[in-house]
Amino acid sequence: MKADRTLFVYFFLISSLAIAVGQDVSAAEAKVELIKAAAPQQYFVVKDDTLWDISGQFLKHPWKWPEIWSENPQIKNPHLIYPGDLITLQFVGGEPRLVLARNVQLLPEIKYLPHVSAVEMVPLALVSRFLTDNQFRSSAEVDDGPYILAGAEEQILIGPNDDFYVAGSIKDTEYGVFRKGYTYLDPITGEALGMQLTHLGTAELIRQDGEVATLNAISAKQAFRRGDKVLNRGKSILPANIYPKAPTQKIKGYIVGVENMTLSAGQMDIIALNQGKRSGVEVGDILDIFKAGRAVQDGQGAKNLQLPDRRIGLVVVFSIYEKMAYAIVMEAASPVQAGDLLKTPGD
């Protein structure tokens, strides 16, 4: 009986070891699959590089950069890469690793300095500028909010330091002035997701007389005019950094608008999608862009066949609201338009 038990334990250990080795081999093979066939052996980081472009030198999917990052004792965060750094592709035990060397001099006049900004995966300055110039509010908040009646001097256009009259109750000291933009509608249900507003400037309350308030324009990027909305300034919170990742749950949605309401968007343009917090969308989520397949006749005139959806790019979500979100186009093989599909990678 003791010999049987010993033999059982032996075979159990051998089986467990074989399973573990098999899992390690599968993991290593999966990482090898991430590497581009023409990946360079090394790359020097230079000014104006983006981490997305750098990782795209090595990987088929740039956002999977941390998966093959080799931990360096002195460099804990794989997202903090600086001009002058040297990235080397190595294989250890058949597994690919990206190793980073700091303080490597690229040219006599170019070297790493502590105050140099890290290379970003997503261009925060671009998305920050978008959120400064644009805000998103519910349609009800915009429709019910105070609006400009006229300039105090009966002028049509209101600029800095001008007084003007507003219809509605003003309670706070300082407000933002906005122009109504595009109302986003869900393409499937027709539900109003909210309204995009253009931020024109700021104003402060002088006095409230019944239902009419007098305000003074503190700043104006564009001239105010009759009908512009006067609302709490609000703030779209942008994280200190955006780390692209796969969504924690499956997301399927549609592009409902592109930046400045143009017909199409390209790389580094901003799009709006019809999924938000209630659908589980998070900052940093990666979504693939697809052109919906169209129906065509089979050539015999007997029936229509549905062509498959065609992947054309990829977006990263950076700002989320209850019913919708904004994302930046990181890759685009063809023009991106309202109505295009968005799906979790791999779906």
Residue 5 within any structural domain of the chain? no
**For position 224, what pLDDT does the model report?**
97
Q: Which residue numbers in the chain have pLDDT < 50?
A: 8-10, 12, 16-23, 25, 106-115
**For position 18, what pLDDT does the model report?**
45
Quote the pTM value: 0.79
Contact 79, 118 (CB under 8 A): yes
> Could you tell me if 137 and 53 lie in one domain?
no
> Could you tell me if 210 and 159 lie in one domain?
yes
**For position 67, what pLDDT does the model report?**
77
**At residue 302, what are phi and psi to the nearest 5 degrees?**
-85, -40
> Could you tell me if 155 and 69 lie in one domain?
no
Return d(Cα 255, Cα 261) in angstroms, integer: 12
Contact 45, 90 (CB under 8 A): no
> Could you tell me if 314 and 329 lie in one domain?
yes
Residue 2 within any structural domain of the chain? no
Among 121, 143, 165, the domain-final residue is: 121
> Could you tell me if 141 and 112 lie in one domain?
no
> Could you tell me if 106 and 47 lie in one domain?
yes
**For position 250, what pLDDT does the model report?**
94
Residue 199 within any structural domain of the chain? yes
**For position 146, what pLDDT does the model report?**
96
**For position 96, what pLDDT does the model report?**
84
**For position 53, what pLDDT does the model report?**
85
pLDDT, tens digit (0-9, with 9 covering 90-100), for 252-291: 999 999 987 778 999 999 999 999 999 999 999 999 999 9
Pairs from 150-158 (Cβ < 8 Å, separation ≥ 24): 150/226, 152/214, 156/225, 156/226, 157/223, 157/224, 157/225, 158/217, 158/220, 158/223, 158/224, 158/225
Among 196, 231, 266, the domain-final residue is: 231
Task: Print the SS3 string covering the chain.
Answer: CHHHHHHHHHHHHHHHHHHHHHHHHHHHHHHHHHECCCCCCEEECCCCCCHHHHHHHHECCHHHHHHHECCECCECCCCCECCCCEEEEEEECCEEEEEEECCCCCECCECCCCCCCCECCCCHHHHHHHHHHEEEECHHHHHHCCEEEEECCCCCCECCCCEEEEECCCCCCEEEEEEEEEEEECCCCCCEEEEEEEEEEEEEEEEEECCEEEEEEEEECCCECCCCEEECCCCCCCCCCCCCECCCCCCEEEEEEEHHHCCCECCCCEEEECCCHHHCCCCCEEEEEEECCCEEECCCCCCEEECCCEEEEEEEEEEECCCCEEEEEEEECCCECCCCEEECCCC
Among 74, 89, 121, the domain-final residue is: 121
**For position 118, what pLDDT does the model report?**
65
> Could you tell me if 62 and 141 lie in one domain?
no
> Could you tell me if 101 and 175 lie in one domain?
no
Residue 200 within any structural domain of the chain? yes
> Could you tell me if 225 and 209 lie in one domain?
yes
User: What is the domain range of residue 307?
Assistant: 252-343
Residue 11 within any structural domain of the chain? no
- How many distinct structural domains can be found in the chain? 3
**For position 301, what pLDDT does the model report?**
67
Residue 237 within any structural domain of the chain? no
> Could you tell me if 112 and 140 lie in one domain?
no
> Could you tell me if 134 and 155 lie in one domain?
yes
Question: What CATH number should be reported for the domain holding residue 323?
Answer: 2.40.10.410
> Could you tell me if 142 and 184 lie in one domain?
yes
Residue 152 within any structural domain of the chain? yes
Residue 336 within any structural domain of the chain? yes
Show Cβ contacts of residue 29 under 8 Å, excluding neighbours closer than 6 positions: none
**For position 337, what pLDDT does the model report?**
95
